[in-house]
């Protein structure tokens, strides 16, 4: 690769509740690398939490910030990189991910709803019917996660440590 170019060792994608943050932390620990998370990068550069950005500026503004955050992280970070669940909605992001090692953490609707049920920080999942909302999100995105993935790990029946072990073994 060109001098000075860095890239993540692995990029984690998947819906909310698929375990990107916790698996990312385990992978970082096991590989001795740093974990970077584009949701956190956006909150840091915006100076406020993501639900505030959705509420004040709307989803399109958030998605523009997310495209920029992902592009920056992909060229700046050489550790483990966790992306926000909706990152793959952007075609420009999917193009960038074609050059990367991308792991899709998959999860079924019931498990995803259960894992995100206690979270209050997920603006897209706060509707009146979380099951239907989550199902719609999966239906709209499954093919996009699969389009960018080099490896898919079904996480429902696995612990965080087990998912991390599978990834290390497969990469
Ligand atoms: C989103 C997922 C969130 C965050 C934002 C939008 C999504 O990240 O980026 O609330 O569209 O799925 P997590 O996947 O880490 O929950």
- Return the beta strands (E) in the chain as ranges: 10-13, 35-37, 80-82, 102-106, 151-154
pLDDT in tens, 9-58: 999 999 999 999 999 999 999 999 999 999 999 999 999 999 999 999 99
Residue 60: the pLDDT is 98
Residue with the smallest CA separation from ligand 1 atom 15 is 84
CA–CA distances in Å: residue 122 to residues 61, 134, 166: 16, 11, 27
Rounded to an integer, what distance in angstroms lies between the CA atom of residue 141 and that of residue 15?
8
Strand stretches in 77-148, DSSP E: 80-82, 102-106
Query: Which residues touch 41 (CB under 8 Å, ≥6 apart)?
Result: 69, 72, 73
In sequence order, which residues have a C-beta less than 8 Å from that of residue 171 and are 6 or more positions away?
9, 10, 101, 103, 151
Q: How far is the CA of 122 from the centre of ligand 1 (A)?
A: 6
| 85 has binding-site annotation | yes
Burial zone of 17 (CB within 10 Å; 0-12 exposed, 13-18 middle, 19+ buried): buried
What residue has token string 């001795």? Answer: 32
Separation CA 140–CA 136 (nearest Å)? 6
User: If you measure from the C-alpha of residue 141 to the centroid of ligand 1, how many angstroms do you get, rounded to a whole number?
Assistant: 12
- Out of 58-72, 76-90, 111-125, 144-158, pick the least confident: 111-125
Going by alpha carbons, the residue nearest to atom 9 of ligand 1 is: 84
Query: Around 40, how many Cα atoms within 13 Å sit in the side-chain half-sphere?
Result: 8
- Bridge partners for 81 per DSSP: 11, 36
Tell me how far the alpha carbon of residue 120 lies from the centroid of ligand 1, in angstroms. Answer: 12
What pLDDT sits at residue 84?
Answer: 97
- Specify the pTM: 0.94
For ligand 1, whether the C-beta of 86 sits within 6 Å is yes
Whole-angstrom distance, CA of residue 158 vs CA of residue 169: 15
Q: How many separate helices (H) and strands (E) can be counted in the chain?
A: 8, 5
Q: Residue 18 annotated as binding?
A: yes
Give the pLDDT score at 5: 80
Please count the other Cβ atoms lying within 10 Å of the Cβ belonging to residue 110: 12
What pLDDT, in 10s, does the model give residues 4-15?
688 899 999 999
- 128 CA → ligand 1 middle, Å: 18
**Model confidence over 130-167: pLDDT tens digits?**
888 899 999 999 999 999 999 999 999 999 999 999 99
Q: What ipTM describes this predicted complex?
A: 0.98
Q: From the CB of 123, is ligand 1 less than 6 Å away?
A: yes
């Amino acid at each position: 690769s060109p001098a000075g170019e860095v890239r993540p060792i692995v990029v984690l994608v998947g819906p909310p509740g698929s375990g990107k943050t916790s698996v990312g932390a385990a992978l970082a620990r096991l590989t001795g690398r740093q974990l970077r998370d584009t949701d956190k990068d956006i909150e840091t550069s915006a100076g406020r939490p993501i639900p505030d950005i959705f509420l004040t500026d709307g989803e399109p503004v958030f998605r523009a910030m997310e495209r920029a955050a992902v592009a920056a992280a992909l060229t700046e970070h050489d550790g483990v990189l966790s992306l926000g669940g909706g990152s793959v909605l952007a075609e420009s992001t999917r193009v960038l991910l074609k050059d990367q090692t991308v792991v899709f953490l998959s999860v079924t609707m019931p498990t995803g709803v259960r894992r995100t049920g206690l979270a209050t920080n997920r603006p897209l999942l706060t509707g009146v019917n979380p099951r239907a909302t989550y199902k719609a999100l999966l239906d709209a995105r499954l093919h996009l996660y699969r389009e960018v993935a080099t490896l898919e790990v079904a996480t429902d029946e696995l612990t965080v440590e087990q998912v991390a072990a599978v990834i290390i073994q497969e990469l």
